[in-house]
Amino acid sequence: MFLSIVLASAANHFLACWLGFSGTKGVGIYRRVGPETGPQVLCAGSSLLVSALSWSRVSETLGQGVETWGVGGSSPEIWEEWQARRPLSKTTIIGVSVYDLNEMHLADDRATIVPLSRTVNDLWLSGASPALSHRILAQYVLTYVRLLFPTAGTGDNVLSGLRSKAADLLGLQARLTEYEGVVYEPRPPLLDAGESTATVSEWSSARVLRRMAALRVENRGHHEFFKGPKHTAFHRLLSQARRQGRVIVVVMPVSRAYTEEFIDESATAAFERAIHEAMVIAPEATFVRLDRVPGISDPGYFFDLVHMNSLGRGVATTAFLQEVTQRGSQRRLEPLVHTSMTPGN
Protein backbone atom coordinates (compact mmCIF):
# COMPACT_ATOMS: atom_id res chain seq x y z
CA MET A 1 0.00 0.00 0.00
CA PHE A 2 2.80 2.40 0.92
CA LEU A 3 4.65 1.64 -2.34
CA SER A 4 1.46 2.20 -4.36
CA ILE A 5 0.96 5.62 -2.75
CA VAL A 6 4.58 6.56 -3.38
CA LEU A 7 4.41 5.51 -7.05
CA ALA A 8 1.06 7.28 -7.58
CA SER A 9 2.37 10.44 -5.91
CA ALA A 10 5.54 10.39 -8.00
CA ALA A 11 3.53 9.96 -11.19
CA ASN A 12 1.22 12.82 -10.20
CA HIS A 13 4.15 15.12 -9.45
CA PHE A 14 5.68 14.23 -12.81
CA LEU A 15 2.40 15.01 -14.58
CA ALA A 16 2.08 18.35 -12.75
CA CYS A 17 5.66 19.28 -13.65
CA TRP A 18 5.18 18.26 -17.29
CA LEU A 19 2.00 20.32 -17.58
CA GLY A 20 3.65 23.32 -15.95
CA PHE A 21 1.51 23.46 -12.82
CA SER A 22 2.83 25.92 -10.24
CA GLY A 23 1.15 26.94 -7.02
CA THR A 24 0.96 30.55 -5.88
CA LYS A 25 2.18 29.47 -2.41
CA GLY A 26 0.22 32.24 -0.78
CA VAL A 27 1.89 35.01 -2.77
CA GLY A 28 0.58 35.20 -6.33
CA ILE A 29 2.36 36.50 -9.42
CA TYR A 30 3.39 40.14 -8.99
CA ARG A 31 2.73 42.41 -11.97
CA ARG A 32 3.07 46.14 -12.48
CA VAL A 33 3.22 48.89 -15.10
CA GLY A 34 4.24 52.54 -15.17
CA PRO A 35 6.61 54.57 -12.92
CA GLU A 36 8.28 52.52 -10.21
CA THR A 37 8.81 55.52 -7.95
CA GLY A 38 6.22 57.69 -6.29
CA PRO A 39 2.62 56.74 -5.45
CA GLN A 40 1.38 53.40 -6.71
CA VAL A 41 -2.17 52.42 -7.60
CA LEU A 42 -3.34 49.11 -6.17
CA CYS A 43 -5.29 47.04 -8.70
CA ALA A 44 -7.57 44.73 -6.71
CA GLY A 45 -9.29 42.40 -9.11
CA SER A 46 -9.22 39.10 -10.94
CA SER A 47 -8.11 38.36 -14.48
CA LEU A 48 -11.43 39.83 -15.64
CA LEU A 49 -10.26 43.27 -14.54
CA VAL A 50 -6.76 42.75 -15.97
CA SER A 51 -8.13 41.76 -19.38
CA ALA A 52 -10.75 44.53 -19.44
CA LEU A 53 -8.39 47.54 -19.36
CA SER A 54 -5.20 48.72 -21.06
CA TRP A 55 -3.11 49.31 -17.95
CA SER A 56 -0.41 51.32 -19.67
CA ARG A 57 -3.07 53.87 -20.65
CA VAL A 58 -4.53 53.81 -17.14
CA SER A 59 -1.12 54.41 -15.60
CA GLU A 60 -0.37 57.25 -18.01
CA THR A 61 -3.72 58.93 -17.31
CA LEU A 62 -3.42 58.66 -13.53
CA GLY A 63 0.26 59.57 -13.58
CA GLN A 64 1.13 56.70 -11.25
CA GLY A 65 2.42 53.16 -11.42
CA VAL A 66 -0.12 50.34 -11.12
CA GLU A 67 0.59 47.07 -9.34
CA THR A 68 -1.25 43.86 -8.57
CA TRP A 69 -0.81 40.14 -7.93
CA GLY A 70 -2.18 37.41 -10.15
CA VAL A 71 -4.14 34.50 -8.70
CA GLY A 72 -6.54 32.42 -10.78
CA GLY A 73 -10.18 33.22 -10.02
CA SER A 74 -9.29 35.63 -7.21
CA SER A 75 -12.00 37.46 -5.23
CA PRO A 76 -12.32 40.01 -2.38
CA GLU A 77 -10.97 37.69 0.35
CA ILE A 78 -7.71 37.38 -1.62
CA TRP A 79 -7.60 41.05 -2.64
CA GLU A 80 -7.60 41.94 1.06
CA GLU A 81 -4.24 40.22 1.37
CA TRP A 82 -2.86 42.36 -1.46
CA GLN A 83 -4.25 45.48 0.19
CA ALA A 84 -2.47 44.58 3.43
CA ARG A 85 0.83 44.55 1.54
CA ARG A 86 0.27 48.09 0.26
CA PRO A 87 -1.13 50.11 3.21
CA LEU A 88 0.22 53.36 1.73
CA SER A 89 -1.57 53.17 -1.64
CA LYS A 90 -3.49 56.40 -2.15
CA THR A 91 -5.60 55.04 -5.02
CA THR A 92 -7.33 51.65 -5.20
CA ILE A 93 -9.03 50.25 -8.29
CA ILE A 94 -11.41 47.41 -7.45
CA GLY A 95 -12.95 45.31 -10.22
CA VAL A 96 -16.14 43.33 -9.61
CA SER A 97 -18.64 41.42 -11.72
CA VAL A 98 -21.36 38.80 -11.38
CA TYR A 99 -18.58 36.25 -11.82
CA ASP A 100 -16.20 37.64 -9.16
CA LEU A 101 -18.75 38.33 -6.42
CA ASN A 102 -20.59 35.03 -6.80
CA GLU A 103 -20.16 33.17 -3.51
CA MET A 104 -20.50 29.85 -5.36
CA HIS A 105 -17.33 30.50 -7.37
CA LEU A 106 -14.22 29.63 -5.34
CA ALA A 107 -10.64 30.47 -6.25
CA ASP A 108 -8.52 27.33 -6.47
CA ASP A 109 -5.69 28.85 -4.39
CA ARG A 110 -7.91 30.54 -1.83
CA ALA A 111 -6.91 28.28 1.06
CA THR A 112 -3.20 28.91 0.49
CA ILE A 113 -3.67 32.68 0.77
CA VAL A 114 -6.56 33.46 3.15
CA PRO A 115 -5.92 32.46 6.79
CA LEU A 116 -8.19 29.73 8.09
CA SER A 117 -9.12 31.77 11.18
CA ARG A 118 -10.45 34.62 9.03
CA THR A 119 -12.38 32.19 6.84
CA VAL A 120 -14.08 30.57 9.83
CA ASN A 121 -14.97 33.98 11.27
CA ASP A 122 -16.37 35.23 7.94
CA LEU A 123 -18.44 32.09 7.45
CA TRP A 124 -19.94 32.56 10.90
CA LEU A 125 -20.62 36.29 10.53
CA SER A 126 -22.05 36.01 7.02
CA GLY A 127 -24.43 33.17 7.87
CA ALA A 128 -23.16 31.04 4.98
CA SER A 129 -25.04 27.85 4.21
CA PRO A 130 -23.64 24.52 5.49
CA ALA A 131 -22.99 23.40 1.89
CA LEU A 132 -20.92 26.49 1.07
CA SER A 133 -19.07 26.31 4.38
CA HIS A 134 -18.20 22.68 3.71
CA ARG A 135 -16.88 23.50 0.22
CA ILE A 136 -14.70 26.33 1.49
CA LEU A 137 -13.31 24.45 4.49
CA ALA A 138 -12.63 21.42 2.30
CA GLN A 139 -10.21 23.60 0.31
CA TYR A 140 -7.93 23.78 3.35
CA VAL A 141 -7.91 19.98 3.57
CA LEU A 142 -7.14 19.81 -0.15
CA THR A 143 -3.99 21.89 0.33
CA TYR A 144 -2.51 19.00 2.35
CA VAL A 145 -3.69 16.40 -0.16
CA ARG A 146 -1.86 18.34 -2.88
CA LEU A 147 1.42 17.81 -1.08
CA LEU A 148 1.16 14.24 -2.38
CA PHE A 149 -1.05 14.77 -5.43
CA PRO A 150 -0.56 18.32 -6.83
CA THR A 151 -3.19 17.91 -9.57
CA ALA A 152 -5.98 17.00 -7.11
CA GLY A 153 -9.12 19.01 -7.81
CA THR A 154 -7.80 20.49 -11.08
CA GLY A 155 -9.38 18.13 -13.62
CA ASP A 156 -10.32 20.85 -16.12
CA ASN A 157 -6.81 22.30 -16.07
CA VAL A 158 -5.29 18.84 -16.50
CA LEU A 159 -7.47 18.16 -19.55
CA SER A 160 -6.60 21.54 -21.08
CA GLY A 161 -2.90 20.93 -20.41
CA LEU A 162 -2.98 17.45 -21.95
CA ARG A 163 -4.79 18.80 -25.00
CA SER A 164 -2.14 21.48 -25.40
CA LYS A 165 0.73 19.00 -24.99
CA ALA A 166 -0.82 16.62 -27.54
CA ALA A 167 -1.23 19.45 -30.04
CA ASP A 168 2.37 20.49 -29.47
CA LEU A 169 3.69 16.96 -30.05
CA LEU A 170 1.61 16.67 -33.25
CA GLY A 171 2.70 20.06 -34.52
CA LEU A 172 -0.82 21.47 -34.22
CA GLN A 173 -0.22 24.02 -31.46
CA ALA A 174 -0.88 26.99 -33.75
CA ARG A 175 -4.27 25.58 -34.75
CA LEU A 176 -5.15 24.79 -31.13
CA THR A 177 -4.17 28.30 -30.02
CA GLU A 178 -6.39 29.78 -32.72
CA TYR A 179 -9.24 27.44 -31.81
CA GLU A 180 -9.00 27.94 -28.05
CA GLY A 181 -8.45 31.70 -28.27
CA VAL A 182 -5.42 31.69 -25.99
CA VAL A 183 -4.21 35.13 -24.90
CA TYR A 184 -0.51 35.83 -24.75
CA GLU A 185 0.59 37.21 -21.40
CA PRO A 186 4.01 38.89 -21.20
CA ARG A 187 6.38 37.61 -18.57
CA PRO A 188 6.03 39.07 -15.07
CA PRO A 189 6.29 41.65 -13.74
CA LEU A 190 4.65 43.43 -16.70
CA LEU A 191 0.96 44.13 -16.13
CA ASP A 192 -0.57 43.51 -19.54
CA ALA A 193 -3.29 41.17 -20.75
CA GLY A 194 -1.66 40.71 -24.17
CA GLU A 195 -3.37 40.79 -27.52
CA SER A 196 -6.23 38.59 -28.67
CA THR A 197 -8.59 38.95 -31.61
CA ALA A 198 -10.36 35.63 -30.97
CA THR A 199 -14.06 35.90 -30.10
CA VAL A 200 -16.69 33.73 -28.49
CA SER A 201 -18.74 34.01 -31.68
CA GLU A 202 -16.05 31.91 -33.42
CA TRP A 203 -16.40 29.02 -30.99
CA SER A 204 -17.75 25.69 -32.11
CA SER A 205 -20.92 24.45 -30.45
CA ALA A 206 -18.88 21.66 -28.80
CA ARG A 207 -16.58 24.13 -27.09
CA VAL A 208 -19.48 26.28 -25.92
CA LEU A 209 -21.09 23.23 -24.34
CA ARG A 210 -17.81 22.16 -22.73
CA ARG A 211 -17.13 25.57 -21.17
CA MET A 212 -20.72 26.01 -20.03
CA ALA A 213 -20.60 22.62 -18.35
CA ALA A 214 -17.32 23.48 -16.61
CA LEU A 215 -18.74 26.79 -15.34
CA ARG A 216 -21.93 25.12 -14.19
CA VAL A 217 -19.92 22.68 -12.09
CA GLU A 218 -17.78 25.53 -10.79
CA ASN A 219 -20.67 27.75 -9.66
CA ARG A 220 -23.17 24.95 -8.96
CA GLY A 221 -25.46 26.55 -11.54
CA HIS A 222 -26.33 29.29 -9.06
CA HIS A 223 -25.25 32.86 -8.23
CA GLU A 224 -25.36 34.08 -4.64
CA PHE A 225 -24.13 37.56 -3.66
CA PHE A 226 -24.91 37.54 0.06
CA LYS A 227 -24.43 35.14 2.97
CA GLY A 228 -20.81 34.36 2.21
CA PRO A 229 -17.23 35.49 2.93
CA LYS A 230 -16.93 37.44 -0.34
CA HIS A 231 -19.70 39.81 0.71
CA THR A 232 -18.05 40.45 4.08
CA ALA A 233 -14.55 40.82 2.63
CA PHE A 234 -15.73 43.21 -0.10
CA HIS A 235 -17.14 45.58 2.52
CA ARG A 236 -13.90 45.50 4.52
CA LEU A 237 -11.90 46.08 1.34
CA LEU A 238 -13.96 49.16 0.47
CA SER A 239 -13.77 50.58 3.98
CA GLN A 240 -9.99 50.25 4.13
CA ALA A 241 -9.54 51.63 0.60
CA ARG A 242 -11.51 54.80 1.38
CA ARG A 243 -9.40 55.34 4.51
CA GLN A 244 -6.28 55.17 2.37
CA GLY A 245 -7.45 57.56 -0.36
CA ARG A 246 -9.28 57.52 -3.67
CA VAL A 247 -11.45 54.51 -4.56
CA ILE A 248 -12.46 53.48 -8.08
CA VAL A 249 -14.85 50.55 -8.42
CA VAL A 250 -15.16 49.05 -11.90
CA VAL A 251 -18.27 46.96 -12.52
CA MET A 252 -17.27 44.74 -15.41
CA PRO A 253 -19.40 42.99 -18.01
CA VAL A 254 -19.53 39.32 -18.90
CA SER A 255 -20.51 37.94 -22.27
CA ARG A 256 -24.14 37.74 -23.32
CA ALA A 257 -23.87 33.96 -23.50
CA TYR A 258 -22.84 33.77 -19.83
CA THR A 259 -25.68 36.08 -18.76
CA GLU A 260 -28.30 34.16 -20.72
CA GLU A 261 -27.12 30.85 -19.28
CA PHE A 262 -26.66 31.74 -15.61
CA ILE A 263 -28.10 35.16 -14.69
CA ASP A 264 -31.84 35.44 -14.15
CA GLU A 265 -33.88 38.38 -12.85
CA SER A 266 -33.43 37.47 -9.20
CA ALA A 267 -29.64 37.20 -9.60
CA THR A 268 -29.55 40.56 -11.39
CA ALA A 269 -31.56 42.20 -8.61
CA ALA A 270 -29.30 40.69 -5.93
CA PHE A 271 -26.16 41.86 -7.71
CA GLU A 272 -27.53 45.41 -8.07
CA ARG A 273 -28.35 45.41 -4.37
CA ALA A 274 -24.76 44.39 -3.60
CA ILE A 275 -23.45 47.27 -5.73
CA HIS A 276 -25.85 49.68 -4.01
CA GLU A 277 -24.54 48.58 -0.61
CA ALA A 278 -21.00 49.25 -1.83
CA MET A 279 -22.02 52.77 -2.87
CA VAL A 280 -23.37 53.39 0.63
CA ILE A 281 -20.14 52.18 2.23
CA ALA A 282 -17.96 54.36 -0.04
CA PRO A 283 -20.21 57.22 -1.25
CA GLU A 284 -17.25 59.28 -2.47
CA ALA A 285 -15.91 56.44 -4.63
CA THR A 286 -16.04 56.53 -8.42
CA PHE A 287 -18.24 53.70 -9.69
CA VAL A 288 -17.60 52.95 -13.37
CA ARG A 289 -20.39 50.80 -14.81
CA LEU A 290 -18.65 49.22 -17.77
CA ASP A 291 -21.37 46.59 -17.74
CA ARG A 292 -23.79 49.30 -18.89
CA VAL A 293 -21.80 50.46 -21.91
CA PRO A 294 -24.10 49.86 -24.92
CA GLY A 295 -23.29 46.59 -26.69
CA ILE A 296 -20.42 45.74 -24.33
CA SER A 297 -21.69 42.16 -23.76
CA ASP A 298 -21.50 41.33 -27.45
CA PRO A 299 -19.57 38.05 -27.97
CA GLY A 300 -17.26 39.87 -30.39
CA TYR A 301 -15.75 41.68 -27.40
CA PHE A 302 -14.85 38.48 -25.48
CA PHE A 303 -12.25 35.78 -26.08
CA ASP A 304 -14.04 33.50 -23.64
CA LEU A 305 -17.27 33.71 -21.67
CA VAL A 306 -16.00 36.26 -19.12
CA HIS A 307 -12.69 37.73 -20.37
CA MET A 308 -12.57 40.62 -22.83
CA ASN A 309 -10.41 40.49 -25.95
CA SER A 310 -8.38 43.34 -27.46
CA LEU A 311 -11.37 44.91 -29.21
CA GLY A 312 -13.47 44.89 -26.07
CA ARG A 313 -10.53 46.18 -24.03
CA GLY A 314 -10.25 49.21 -26.29
CA VAL A 315 -13.93 50.09 -25.83
CA ALA A 316 -13.85 49.47 -22.08
CA THR A 317 -10.64 51.45 -21.52
CA THR A 318 -11.96 54.49 -23.36
CA ALA A 319 -15.18 54.45 -21.30
CA PHE A 320 -13.24 53.90 -18.06
CA LEU A 321 -10.76 56.73 -18.63
CA GLN A 322 -13.52 59.12 -19.68
CA GLU A 323 -15.44 58.47 -16.45
CA VAL A 324 -12.37 58.56 -14.20
CA THR A 325 -11.02 61.75 -15.77
CA GLN A 326 -14.39 63.47 -15.51
CA ARG A 327 -14.83 62.50 -11.86
CA GLY A 328 -11.24 63.47 -11.12
CA SER A 329 -11.86 66.95 -12.52
CA GLN A 330 -14.97 67.30 -10.37
CA ARG A 331 -13.01 66.30 -7.26
CA ARG A 332 -10.43 69.02 -7.95
CA LEU A 333 -13.14 71.64 -8.48
CA GLU A 334 -15.11 70.84 -5.32
CA PRO A 335 -12.71 72.63 -2.91
CA LEU A 336 -12.74 75.72 -5.17
CA VAL A 337 -16.54 75.77 -5.26
CA HIS A 338 -16.70 75.36 -1.50
CA THR A 339 -14.23 78.22 -0.96
CA SER A 340 -16.11 80.56 -3.29
CA MET A 341 -19.32 80.01 -1.31
CA THR A 342 -17.88 80.75 2.14
CA PRO A 343 -18.70 84.14 3.73
CA GLY A 344 -16.32 86.91 2.78
CA ASN A 345 -15.31 85.42 -0.60
Domains assigned to the chain: 28-107+155-340 (3.40.50.1110)
Beta carbons of 90 and 244 less than 8 angstroms apart: yes
Beta carbons of 28 and 70 less than 8 angstroms apart: yes
pTM above 0.75, yes or no: yes
Q: Which amino acid is at 152?
A: A
Distance separating alpha carbons of residues 112 and 252, to the nearest angstrom: 26
Q: Which amino acid is at 325?
A: T
327 burial level (CB within 10 Å; 0-12, 13-18, 19+): middle
Q: What is the pLDDT of residue 250?
A: 98
Beta carbons of 92 and 241 less than 8 angstroms apart: yes
Comparing CA positions, the residue from 237, 313, 249 lying closest to residue 285 is 249
Distance separating alpha carbons of residues 255 and 248, to the nearest angstrom: 23
Q: Give the gyration radius of the chain's Cα atoms.
A: 21
Mean pLDDT by 10 residues, the chain (345 residues): 94 90 68 93 95 96 94 92 92 97 93 94 95 95 92 82 82 62 70 86 87 89 93 96 96 96 96 97 96 96 94 96 82 46 42
Q: What is the pLDDT of residue 341?
A: 40
